[in-house]
Amino acid sequence: MNNKDLISIFDLEPVDIFKILTVSGELKKGKEKDSLPLKGKVVGMIFQKPSTRTRVSFEVGVYQLGGCAIFLNAQDLQLKRGESIKDTAKALSRYLDGIVIRAYAHEDVMELASYSTIPVINGLTDLLHPCQVISDVFTIMEKKNIDCSGQNISGFANIKVVYIGDGNNVANSWMNMASKLGMELVICVPEGYEPDNSILNQCVELKKETNTKISISHVPGEAVKNADVIYTDVWKSMGNKDGRKINKEDFQSFRVNSELLSGAGKDVIVMHCLPAHRGEEITDEVMDGSCSVVFDQAENRLHVQKAIMEILFK
């Protein structure tokens, strides 16, 4: 890829995204069993936040690729005692072959990457969640039978994704992805819960090149019309330190339920990045229903992150 690190989808070119998707498909079929591309490699995993899917999928992925993962609880590092990110990055670069970091402040991840001589992967910040959305696109590619072998974004041009809920880090990364692949994206949120405006402005500039349709809606029933994908997330992202207050009453009409689903396209699929607060942003009948691909989506985190590590760390 063009970059040493994966911090934001916005830093990737479509060719980089297609390479990740292609390698993900190969790895899902078991390619690494023969090659073990990370044999002898050690990956450090710095986590400031709790995690299920990100931590487990990355650790399992490193193991399946032949490498070794070291979990580094941020509370146990000297960062807790005041060591600078710069010095931490320089020291870890002498020991490790790559770093996965899950942090609060996006600026901390950028600083770590800038001083590291080894690749850094953003496992989530309060601003962005790139690995999640790349794996989401891989899932959509599978479920909608999109052929990306020719590295042509036209396969995604007829896909309408409707994100419903809070304009959080996942929504921000979805705007980045849509602007790269020319997808139609509707971010449907209550008034006052819109995604990051600076990222939206960046995407507005880029979408002119890819004919992307990105819009903000406040009316779920209208937003889901002809949707190919309905996507939701918790109404308050885990561990955010941005000071925002969430009033659940503002979100009551933004619950993904069977009534909302009935207004979407006939072949609509439902996605959720998990963990889910069942009964809040999504009902049991939808999450466990025939349209849900939530757990296929969760599985694909493993395959896509393996592909990212193979490309960056080998």
Cβ atoms within 10 Å, residue 63: 13
What is the pLDDT confidence band of residue 239, given thresholds at 50, 70 and 90? low
Structure confidence at residue 242 (pLDDT): 63
Instruction: Work out the pLDDT band at 212, boundaries 50, 70, 90.
Output: confident
Q: Report the pLDDT value the prediction gives residue 88, as an integer from 0 to 100.
A: 96
Q: What is the pLDDT of residue 314?
A: 87
305 is catalytic: no
Share of the chain above pLDDT 90, in %: 83
* Catalytic-residue membership of 132: yes
pLDDT tens digits along 29-57: 987 667 899 999 999 999 999 999 999 99
Asked if 99 and 72 touch (Cβ cutoff 8 Å), the reply is no
Amino acid 99: pLDDT:
98
Q: How far apart are CA 106 and CA 11, in angstroms?
A: 14
Q: Which of 296, 310, 308, 303 is nearest to 60 (CA)?
A: 303
Report the mean per-residue pLDDT for the chain: 94
Average pLDDT over residues 64-68: 96
Set 5, 55, 132, 188: catalytic member: 132
What span, in angstroms and rounded, lies between the C-alpha atoms of 74 and 303? Answer: 26
Q: What is the pLDDT of residue 241?
A: 61
Q: Using the predicted structure, report yes or no on whether residue 65 has a pLDDT greater than 90.
A: yes
pLDDT confidence of residue 154: 87
What is the rounded (10 degree) CA torsion for 185, 237, 140, 164?
A: -40
Q: What is the pLDDT of residue 1?
A: 83
Are the beta carbons of 142 and 169 closer than 8 angstroms?
no
Q: Between these two residues, 151 and 281, which has the higher pLDDT value?
A: 281
- Per-residue model confidence as pLDDT tens digits over 85-127: 999 999 999 999 999 999 999 999 999 999 999 999 999 999 9
Enter the tokens of residue 212: 């992307």
Q: Which of 249, 239, 232 is nearest to 191 (CA)?
A: 249
pLDDT 10s digits, 241-260: 666 788 999 999 999 999 99
Which of the residues 148, 273, 297, 305 is marked catalytic? 273
Helix (H/G/I), strand (E/B), else coil: 162: strand
Q: Which of 16, 53, 55, 102 is catalytic?
A: 102
Q: Is the pLDDT of residue 79 over 90?
A: no
Residue with tokens 């990737």: 12
Is the pLDDT confidence value at 238 over 70? no
Cα 89 versus chain centre, distance: 24
Angle at 236 between CA 199 and CA 204, to 5 degrees: 15
**Single-letter amino acid, residue 160:** K
* % the chain with pLDDT above 70: 97
Q: In what order do the strands lie in the sheet with 184-188?
A: 213-217, 184-188, 160-164, 229-232, 269-272
Q: At what angle do helices 169-181 and 130-143 cross, to 10 degrees?
A: 50
Give per-residue pLDDT as tens, 154-180.
899 999 999 999 999 999 999 999 999
Output the CA–CA distances (angstroms, integers) from residue 207 to 67, 136, 156, 174, 175, in the order listed.
Answer: 39, 20, 14, 13, 10
Q: Which two tokens stand for residue 211?
A: 């004919």
Q: Mark whether 129 is an active-site residue.
A: yes
pLDDT (0 to 100) of residue 240? 61
Other beta carbons less than 10 A from residue 88's beta carbon: 20
Task: Set out the domains of the chain in order of their start, with CATH numbers.
Answer: 9-128+300-313 (3.40.50.1370), 132-298 (3.40.50.1370)
**How confident is the model over 55-76, as a mean pLDDT?**
95
Backbone angles phi, psi at 196, to 5 degrees: -60, 125
Enumerate helices (H) and strands (E) in the chain, giving the number of each: 12, 9
Active-site residue identified among 16, 301, 303, 305: 301
Per the document, the length of the chain is: 314
Instruction: Enter the tokens of residue 147.
Output: 């052929």
The single residue of 106, 129, 272, 303 carrying the catalytic annotation is 129
Catalytic residue selected from 126, 136, 166, 233: 233
Q: Model-level pTM?
A: 0.95
